[in-house]
Structure 1
Amino acid sequence: MGTFTTKDGTNLYYKDWGKGPIITFSHGWPLSSDSWEAHMFFFASQGFRCIAHDRRGHGRSSQPSDGNDMDTYSDDLAQLMEHLNVTEATMIGFSTGGGEVARYIGRHGTKRVKKAVLISAIPPLMLKTPANPNGTPIEVFDGLRKAFLADRSQFFRDVPSGPFYGFNLPGAKPQQSLIDFWWLQGMMGGYKNTYECIKVFSETDLTEDLKKFDVPTLLVHGSKDQVVPIVAAAEAAAKLVKDNKLLVYEGAPHGLVDTYRDRLLADVMTFIRG
């Protein structure tokens, strides 16, 4: 682990495990690099160098009032990658982290990037608009903000207990350990930061960023994703990214990084080595 200070004085916490070809991991909202530890452990044991950071306002990184936007997130990542001399990396992003990877490539290009993996990712745009009729209505995100402000701690239990892992679906068996781990990570984040990130993940248009992808890209999404519905996400992204492979996990929820972890690790390994 280590810390790095960005140009605006924000301290970013990061993990840097193993040696070999580099894989970077960008986490989802409102989580932290801890959400990637099992994946990092696997890849590090297979001869890879794994780097994951806590996004500003999340985990153990600083909680500045400003910079809670996708441009700043991607610029923070760019500075960290330069600091660690990252080259030929496979960039993996989950959910909001997929947006971070997309904006990074859109703003900073692929001189340090070999491949990209977007898992349950938000691009191109979550919000329903006249140009994006399959998106999610703004009222849904307003409801998230209302629940957050009413009782953040309870809200951060309700999300993983329900739609995030699909535990609200018929026949599902809730896994309390996953729910507790999600809640713990979320509560480590800054109140203002994680609140403002709702706007970031829901309203940031990453369409033009996806058009700038010029590296092989793997898109993985669950057909039962209730948080980032596939029709406005991976299915739309696949029409914008030049060189992509789309894997749809039938019946999988948003948090498939955990509930389908073994399958995911195998698929990502095949992609990286292919």
Structure 2
Amino acid sequence: MTTITTKDGTRIFYKDWGPRDGQPVIFSHGWPLSADAWDAQMVFFANQGFRTIAHDRRSHGRSDQVWENNNMDQYADDLGELIEQLDLRDVILVGHSTGGGEVTRYVGRHGTARVAKVALIGAVPPLMLKTEANPGGLPIDVFDGIRKGTFDNRSQFFKDLTIPFYGYNREGAAISAGVREEFWRQGMMGGLKGQLDSIRAFSESDFHEDLAKFDIPTLVLHGDDDQIVPIDASARSTVRIVRHAVLKVYEGADHGLTQTHQDRFNADLLDFING
């Protein structure tokens, strides 16, 4: 396996596909998945001449399952170490869901000296949790339910989660058993402790200050029928903070649009990168 070792001794697995002299595109996955969630995008963009990289977040996929430091700051620092150890520059950062939070926190903590553009896809910033200052967020009960479902019967919970994740509970949806099984497989590769910690990381991390530091072209892409990360409290709030951000809304699209709308998404992301 291809890994880097972080300063705290954690091994982070990553894939590195395409020409080594191509502009690097780094893909950060959502919860509770792994780098495998980006395979189709990695092949597509590698065939376009880009160097495509995706890593398994700590305690997810093939990376080390650690007891501590499963938090957004550390996720961002792990991404930073990956970029630095591979000596990547002029990077395109693409983050989906929790991965969008990871990418956003990276910019907040490490700046954009090595980054050319950012794409936030169905991403959790600026804040998922409902608070007095964030009335459009989701109540803590929602995330407590995710914690309980994951702890009590993780396998069944992940299977059930695929239904709203991919919009399979909507009329006329074309349900793919293979997509559902692949989501389950990736989720079950991760460690329970790290996945439970990650629920707090993606739901309670406040990214307002991180987003205010964005100074590069940013694509914010979201489905307006996203049942996991509602668009009003996320994408539509993000573009009010990030200067010159471009918001692209997929009408009727779900949270897993990188798969359910794969060809359209790949083309739109390519247009953004080349533009």
TM-score by length of 2: 0.98
Query: What is aligned with 1:94?
Result: 96
3-state SS, counterpart of residue 3 of structure 2: strand
Runs of at least 5 residues in structure 1 that lack an aligned partner in the other structure: none
SS at match of 2:92: strand
Q: Structure 2: state its 5+ residue gaps.
A: none
SS of 1:146's equivalent? helix
Q: Which residue of 2 aligns with 1:14?
A: 14
Q: Which secondary structure does the structure 1 equivalent of 2:15 belong to?
A: strand
Distance 2:84 2:195 in 1: 26
* CA distance in structure 1 between the partners assigned to 2:70 and 2:33 by the alignment: 15
- Indicate the percent of aligned positions where both proteins have the same amino acid: 57
* DSSP 3-state at the match of 1:185: helix
Kindly state the Cα deviation for residue 225 of structure 1 after the two structures are TM-superposed.
0.2
Mapped pair 1:271 → 2:272: yes
**Structure 1 consecutive aligned stretches of length 4 or more whose deviation exceeds 2 Å:** none
Q: Deviations over 1:62-112 (max 9, x none)?
A: 001011100000001101100001100110000000000000000000011
Q: In 1, distance between residues paired with 2:240 and 2:67?
A: 36
Question: Equivalent residue for 1:150?
Answer: 152
1:252 matched to 2:253? The reply is: yes
SS in 2 for 1:163: helix
Query: Is residue 241 from structure 1 mapped to residue 242 from structure 2 by the alignment?
Result: yes
Out of 139-148 and 179-188, give the one that drifted further.
139-148
Q: Report the Cα offset of residue 171 of structure 1.
A: 2.4
The equivalences for 1:10-159 within 5 A come to 10-19=10-19, 20-159=22-161
Q: CA deviation at 1:130?
A: 0.8
In structure 1, what is the equivalent of residue 2 of structure 2?
Answer: 2
Cα distance in 2 between the residues matched to 1:199 and 1:168:
26
Q: Supply the distance in 1 between the matched residues of 2:155 and 2:205 (Cα, whole angstroms).
A: 26
Q: 1:212 aligns to what?
A: 213
Contact 2:107 2:213 in 1 (8 A): yes
Matched residue SS, 2:32: coil
Residues 151 and 192 of structure 2 are in contact (CA less than 8 Å); yes or no, is this contact kept in structure 1? no
The CA distance in 1 between the partners of 2:24 and 2:5, in whole Å, is: 21
Counterpart code for 1:54: D
Structure 1 counterpart SS, 2:164: coil
What is the one-letter code of the residue matched to 2:231?
I
Within 2, Cα distance between the matches of 1:182 and 1:198? Answer: 17
How many Å apart are 1:145 and its aligned residue? Answer: 1.0
Letter in 2 for 1:15: K
Counterpart-to-counterpart distance in 1, 2:271 and 2:258: 16
- CA-atom RMSD in angstroms: 0.7
Structure 1 SS opposite 2:165: coil
Matched pairs, number: 273
Q: CA deviation at 1:148?
A: 1.3
Mapped to 2, the partners of 1:238 and 1:57 lie a distance apart of: 31
Counterpart amino acid of 2:17? W
Q: Supply the AA of the counterpart residue of 2:65.
A: Q
Shift of 1:149: 1.6
Shift of 1:174: 1.6
